[in-house]
């Protein structure tokens, strides 16, 4: 009798368990995470699901997508998942993957403080941090999966989801029950800031006007990119909405964020469709519900998911990749199986007015005046991104500095990577940047010609650091343009007089260092300058002393544009010319303008420099008007007998004219003589 009772009890328990699993198996995985009451996460049912979630997580920290985690697993399936732990294929943030599992574990931990849930959550945070590109964006899969998956992915709100996770982690809010260690929170904040910058840089300009975003942007050029055949590069009404809501959530938004939001809202207003609504009509003898767009003057606003980059015209595509003007023109499979319209921007418009009022209220007090008042010493300012100085950003320190000061303003920049575009304005004279160390005090940004998109002169807007203020001095810094080999991308733009860099590194590709201004004189000592094409260019008079000039491609190191009446252009003394191993056919220089002047004295020239040394750049007048010369150089690349016939090898008497006094002191006011002897 006892045995019969036990069997009955077991049968009942198994039946109940099967019934419970049946209930949650009928739900979608995201709805289980988002719709269940907090108390449910303390149940045995939830614990069983949590075991599945832990099993599906890969060692790298992320999860695959489109998994119904609540479905029961057989012993064989569990063993298979254990064997897959080290596998990194198909780990992604697409379709909510990874971010939603992290939320589930947080809700579990709030009810059941199992350390495994906490560790798995923090592994997820680490995965998101590792997956980020240097430019601030995220791919769809990490490790990278070949194809369009490597693009920066806003599609299906992938990057917006990641950014929202990192924001909560960085600010240690109560949204997640699991709090990250301080070091991880700090990394999350940096990653979030980089992500915001990426979003700002990818906002599409249509005829010079900021609009919205595309579902994918190229991970190198940041330009709009295609995905699947029916997902062509276009402005997206759906993905853009979540990005704007994210920008609106930023505390103390920068002017750039405010402009981005205002521009996107204006675009949403311009592109909303007010006379269409979607209807679902059953197809006879089928379970399919046909999708039909119906004209309705009283319909709620909709936005197309795909709009032309040139004029915002909605379009639709089938798997053949051919654009159609209406939804009815594409095949039923894509018509019914894809979201072509969205109402998500309505949430942006709903919140916009209150956001705008709040921002306007926050920006009433002039921040610059407040900053000046709080400075302990207005002539010795400290920048520390960790918050242990007067300012966290370099630009804030510049903006708080006196215009045309009576004495030099020294800005000490503590170690850190300052991801910002920095400008020393014309009125910011007598400014010094003193880095804590050359290796670890880094200013970096990644603008380039195609991204700036301001016409034929876009190059000159791309600089990471721009100097318009005279008598600028800098030492112990590294300045980078990290946009990569994407064309013109300036690292430093010097358009001022008596500018000196000491013990600094300039990293970039094409057009790394631009020195501008007829009559301006600059001095670079003990510096490292790298690039690909014309990576030192401009019309200023510049002395490079004890510098390393490093070529990264078979191209031209310099492109001077010296004016005819200026006696000295680029002068390199005691410098070393090196190159990447693959570089074998580089030139010392070519003329950007016909009277270019470039001279190398006592330099060690690597074998990557071609025997002819110089290029005329298809300018017939170069041989007559340019002045290219060398004096007592050394190295495998120094081949004076094989140089182009119109270049020069200086005599001793001629070389004497290339003293630092002659190059940098001539035509300098008496009060600023010997300006190049400055050390801070």
Q: CB of 623 within 8 A of CB of 569?
A: no
| Coarse DSSP helix, strand, coil percentages of the chain, rounded to the nearest 5 percent | 35, 20, 45
Can you say how many angstroms the Cα of residue 3 is from the centroid of all Cα atoms in its chain?
A: 69
Please give the structure tokens belonging to residue 353: 């007015």
Q: Which residues of 284-315 are buried (b: 16+ CB within 10 A; e: fewer)?
A: eeeeeeebebeeeeeeebbbbbbbbbeebebb
Lookup result for tokens 């970039």: 508
CA distance 111 to 106: 9
Provide the CB-side half-sphere exposure for 317 (13 A, CA).
18
CA distance 671 to 270: 58
Q: Where are the beta strands (DSSP E) in 56-215?
A: 152-153, 205-206, 209-210
Count of CB atoms within 10 A of residue 56's CB? 18
Q: Return the SS3 of 231.
A: coil
CA distance 10 to 103: 34
DSSP 241-295: HHHHHHHHT-SS--HHHHHHHHHHHHHHHHH-B-SEEEEEEEPTTSS-EEEEEEE
CA distance 130 to 117: 20
Alpha helices per DSSP H over 86-181: 99-111, 115-131, 158-171
Give the chain's largest Cα–Cα span: 120
- 364 Cβ contact list (under 8 Å, min separation 6): none
CA distance 105 to 322: 43
Q: CB of 488 within 8 A of CB of 508?
A: no
DSSP 353-372: HHHHHHHHHHTSS-HHHHHH
Q: Peptide bond before 143: cis, by omega within 30 degrees of 0? A: yes
Where does residue 31 rank: exposed (0-12), middle (13-18), buried (19+ CB within 10 A)?
A: exposed
Q: What is the set of active-site residues?
A: 511, 534
Q: Return the SS3 of 102.
A: helix
CA distance 547 to 257: 39
- 531 Cβ contact list (under 8 Å, min separation 6): 508, 509, 510, 511, 512, 513, 550, 551, 552, 557
Q: What angle do CA 280, 286, 290 make, to 5 degrees?
A: 20
Q: Which of 494, 496, 500 has its CA nearest to residue 512?
A: 494
């Amino acid at each position: 009798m006892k045995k019969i009772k036990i069997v009955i009890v077991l049968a009942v328990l198994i039946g109940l368990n099967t019934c419970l699993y049946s209930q949650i198996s009928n739900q979608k995985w995201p709805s289980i995470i988002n719709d269940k009451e907090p108390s449910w996460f303390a149940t045995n049912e939830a614990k069983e699901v949590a075991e599945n979630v832990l099993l599906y997580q890969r060692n790298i920290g992320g999860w695959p997508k489109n998994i119904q985690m609540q479905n029961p697993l057989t012993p064989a399936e569990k063993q298979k998942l254990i064997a897959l732990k080290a596998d990194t294929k198909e780990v992604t943030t697409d379709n909510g993957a990874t971010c939603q599992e992290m939320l589930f574990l947080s809700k579990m931990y709030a009810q059941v403080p199992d350390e495994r849930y906490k560790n798995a959550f923090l592994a997820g945070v680490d995965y998101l941090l590792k997956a980020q590109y240097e430019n601030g964006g995220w791919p769809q899969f990490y490790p990278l999966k070949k194809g369009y998956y490597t693009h920066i992915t806003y599609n299906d709100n992938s990057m917006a989801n990641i950014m929202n996770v990192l924001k909560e982690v960085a600010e240690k809010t109560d949204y997640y029950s699991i709090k990250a260690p301080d070091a991880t929170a700090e990394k999350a904040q940096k990653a979030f800031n980089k992500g915001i910058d990426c979003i700002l840089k990818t906002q599409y300009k249509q005829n010079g006007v900021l609009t919205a975003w595309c579902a994918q942007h190229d991970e190198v050029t940041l330009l709009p990119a295609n995905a699947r055949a029916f997902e062509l590069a276009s402005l997206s009404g759906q993905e853009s909405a979540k990005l704007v809501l994210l920008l609106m959530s930023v505390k103390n938004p920068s002017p750039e964020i405010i402009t981005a939001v205002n521009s996107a809202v204006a675009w949403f207003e311009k592109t909303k469709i007010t006379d269409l609504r979607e209807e679902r009509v059953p197809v006879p003898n089928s379970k399919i519900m046909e999708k039909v767009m119906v004209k309705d003057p009283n319909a709620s606003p909709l936005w197309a998911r795909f709009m032309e980059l040139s004029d915002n015209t909605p379009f639709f595509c089938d798997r053949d990749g051919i654009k159609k003007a209406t939804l009815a023109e594409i095949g039923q499979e894509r018509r019914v199986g894809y979201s072509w319209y969205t109402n998500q921007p309505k949430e942006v418009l709903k919140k916009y007015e209150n956001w705008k009022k709040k921002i306007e209220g926050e920006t009433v007090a002039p921040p610059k005046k407040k900053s000046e008042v709080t400075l302990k010493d207005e002539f010795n300012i400290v920048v520390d991104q960790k918050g242990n100085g007067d300012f966290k950003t370099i630009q804030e320190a510049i903006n708080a500095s006196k215009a045309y000061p009576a004495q030099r303003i020294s800005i000490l920049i503590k170690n850190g990577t300052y991801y910002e575009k920095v400008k020393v304005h014309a009125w910011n004279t007598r400014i010094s940047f003193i880095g804590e160390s050359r290796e670890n005090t880094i200013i970096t940004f990644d603008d380039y010609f195609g991204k700036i998109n301001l016409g034929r002169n876009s190059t000159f807007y791309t600089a990471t650091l721009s100097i318009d203020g005279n008598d600028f001095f800098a030492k112990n810094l590294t300045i980078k343009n990290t946009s990569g080999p994407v064309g013109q991308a300036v690292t430093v733009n010097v358009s001022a007089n008596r500018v000196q860099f000491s013990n600094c590194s300039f990293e970039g590709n094409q057009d790394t260092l631009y020195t501008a201004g007829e009559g301006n004189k600059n001095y670079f000592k003990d510096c490292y300058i790298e690039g690909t094409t014309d990576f030192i260019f401009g019309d200023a008079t510049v002395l490079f002393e004890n510098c390393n000039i490093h070529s990264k491609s078979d191209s031209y190191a310099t492109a001077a544009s010296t004016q005819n009446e200026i006696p000295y252009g680029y002068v390199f003394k005691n410098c070393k010319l090196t190159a990447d191993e693959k570089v074998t056919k580089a030139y010392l220089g070519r003329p950007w303008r016909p009277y270019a002047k470039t001279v190398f004295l006592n330099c060690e020239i690597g074998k990557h420099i071609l025997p002819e040394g110089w290029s005329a750049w298809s300018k017939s007048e170069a041989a007559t008007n340019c002045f290219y010369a060398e004096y007592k150089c050394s190295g495998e690349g120094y081949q004076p007998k094989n140089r182009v016939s119109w270049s020069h090898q200086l005599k001793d008497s001629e070389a004497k004219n290339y003293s630092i006094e002659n190059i940098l002191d001539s035509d300098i006011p008496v009060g600023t003589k010997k300006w190049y002897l400055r050390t801070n």
